[in-house]
Amino acid sequence: MNEVIATWRDSLHQVLDLYERKRGSLLVFFPLLFLFFVLLNVACYWWAIYTAFPHYMQTHEASHYLKLQIPVGFLGALFDSLSFFVTLWIIRRALASVRTAEYVMHLSLDLVVGVLATLWVLFVFSFGGWLISLWENVPEELLERGNKYTNRAVQAIQDPTGRENAKNIYFGLIMGVSAALPTCLHLFLFLLSIIRKAKKTLFTSPKSGSDQEDSTGMD
């Protein structure tokens, strides 16, 4: 396992080095990063809408959901952009750690970011929907909208197999894709390290060991 962790560390270090070499000016990089997350959040939003609740776009509320993509895209990108730099800080701290447990613990902090992202999604849809209600001159209570989305989340946890609850869970998972990117990166590099270790173990020829023994005997 120590060899797997070492390979994982090396791979993560290479990714960090690549980022630092290619990033360029932060004044240019950050707007591009923000734009990327805006597009990603909007794409996830429409993917979730059309795969989970396609009938929404066939009702009188279609214009509401069309407008809702704006706060979803921008507020989602705000969280994702800031969490991107938090993730970089976590990675640097992890690579600077000496013990394996400390390394894994640091990277596990990305799970906390994932939990915060879930709460942020609830806020985005509550606050974003409230802004759209003001835009449409049918103002709603922000607290009321917040309670509505919170109740949906609670119901989904209590009965995840329910038809509507399952759709809401699926919708939330799709909307959490951008926030899950760091965790997916860590898992990918970890699995890649395991595969490399397995290939090394399976395909390393035992001949080298026997040759070494023969040479020792001849001496």
The DSSP secondary structure of 29-81, one letter per residue, reads HHHHHHHHHHHHHHHHHHHHHHHH-GGGGGSTTHHHHHHHHHHHHHHHHHHHH
Spatial CB neighbours of 170, under 8 Å, sequence gap ≥ 6 = 48, 51, 52
pLDDT at 211: 52
- Residue 124 in tokens: 């985005």
pLDDT at 77: 92
Q: Is 140:128 a contact under the CB 8 Å cutoff?
A: no
At 56-99, the pLDDT tens digits run 888 887 888 888 899 999 999 999 999 999 888 988 888 888 88
Q: What is the DSSP letter of 218?
A: H
Rounded to a whole number of angstroms, the CA Rg of the chain reads 24
Residues of the chain with pLDDT under 70: 139, 142, 204-219
pLDDT at 142: 66
Strand, helix or coil at 204?
coil
Indicate the pTM of the whole model: 0.78
> What distance in Å separates the CA atoms of residue 84 and residue 183, rounded to the nearest whole number?
11
